[in-house]
Amino acid sequence: MSFIGVFDSGLGGLSVLKHLHDQFPHEEFVYLADSQNIPYGEKNTIQLKEIFDHNINCFKKAKGIVVACSTISSLIPKKKLPEIPLFSIIDSLVQTYTQEFSDVENIGILATSFTVEHGAYLNALTQAKLNTNITQVAAPLLVPAIENNVDNIMEIADQYIAQFPNDIRHLILGCTHYNLLLEKFQLHYKRLTIINPYNGIIKQISPIISKEKTDIIKPLVFLTTKYSKNLQNISEEIMQQDIIWQSISL
């Protein structure tokens, strides 16, 4: 078996999967929505390491694993696998950002509580030696709001965006769930350039993409640790296709 695994705590990683499948339709992808443990961003390091190990066990036969979650990605330097390459959403976004926007003076990072507290994006951007001021804001209510498809989601977002200085010009969405609001953010916060990880992760996994010539579009496989009708409806809207979710226990 030679598939690429992608996982997140729920719906957020589907934003990444959609772009990967659009770019590489002949590649086999297996997606895990660990909805039982959502939200990752409010858990501690011990809990997250245990979740990481359980999720990885689903992908023992994968040729690569995309960690489509910034919170878990912040642990990757401490969690290496001997045979399967891991692709961090943080690395892909920071690499893309530093290549395209190296001269911006003020950057905002909107992320989960864990990602902000551990300075995952802040440290990565600092190591890239950007000459910039960086402001982080934690948005603990956004992931549950996105998962539950609440009506006032942009009012919730407004509370967090208001915490940034007025002079920030670029906003990094430091959680893949937030990318599901990308179009709304672009319309609502027109003064900001919204940064997402899609181009970076596509470049990262390109070396392991099959070189075999084929016209066959591979079906996607969807796994979840907790099925719900909400997961069904929103995932089909994101992926623009019918989805059969397979329930699993980790």
Q: What share of the chain is helix, strand, coil (3-state, %, to 5)?
A: 45, 20, 40
Q: How many CB atoms lie within 10 A of CB 78?
A: 9
Helices (H), 110-190: 113-117, 120-127, 142-147, 153-161, 182-188
Q: Is 58 a catalytic residue?
A: no
Residue 70 identity (one-letter amino acid): S
Which of 93, 143, 173, 175 is flagged as catalytic?
175
Is residue 175 annotated as a catalytic residue, yes or no?
A: yes
- 80 Cβ partners below 8 Å, 6+ apart? 86
Q: Which of 69, 146, 180, 201 is catalytic?
A: 69
Distance CA 118, CA 179 (A): 21
Measure the CA dihedral 199/151/36/244, to 10°.
Answer: -70
Catalytic residue numbers read 69, 175
